[in-house]
Every structure is written in structure tokens, then in C-alpha cells.
Amino acid sequence: MSDCLFCKIAGGEIPVEFVYEDDDVVAFRDINPQAPLHTLVVPRRHIATLNDVQPEDAELIGRMYLAAQRVAADAGVAEPGYRTVFNCNAQAGQTVFHLHLHVLGGRAMQWPPG
């Protein structure tokens, strides 16, 4: 999608520092962090929301979680603990309509989350 912010970031049109990247996903720091570690894991291919994920996307979703695991380990928060979150649509807090997985850590998380 030509006007999608995360498509432009994943495609290199908007320069950001990736903390992780492979052929399928990229990860970068959130510009409005809610924890000491707040990274977004974004597929290179555009999928608007979690509701748009298809059965053939199962491997991609798995790759997103493996990238989150790596981001957490590299940041030193894997053992103390971290949270992963998909927001789906506006009422859940999704503001960029390109699927992305939040990786939050570096502080104690509260429950319920919001």
C-alpha cells in the first residue's frame, strides 16, 4: 500500500534503525514507548489487521513471534519477562493499520493491561 507508514518503513522508504530484520519481518523502536523496551515487529507484507490474517499467514505470524523472542533476548528482558500484544482495530488501540506486534519489557507489567 503506497500510503501505509509501516510499508514505507519496512520497504526502506522511511529510514529507521531496525533492531531486527529478516526476509519477512522488521523490528524497530516505537516512537511513543510505553516501557523501557517497546519495539514493534512488522511484517514486510501489508496485512491491515489481525482480522485480515488468513490460514496461509500462520508461518508469518510465527516468524513475528520468533522475532519478538529475539528482540527480547537481545534487550536482556527475556528472562525477567516481557509482553507481546497485537491490537486489532481502533477500539483496541490500533492506530496504524498494518499488522504489528508490540514487544514491551524492562519493567513490571500490570494486569489487567488497560
Q: What are phi and psi of 62, to 5 degrees?
A: -60, -40
User: What are the distances in angstroms from CA 58 to CA 23, 55, 73, 74?
Assistant: 16, 6, 23, 25
Q: Which of 38, 98, 100, 102 is catalytic?
A: 100
Q: Is 100 annotated in the active site?
A: yes
Residue reference for cell 527475556? 78
Rounded CA-CA distance 61/110 in Å is 25
Q: Which residues are catalytic?
A: 100
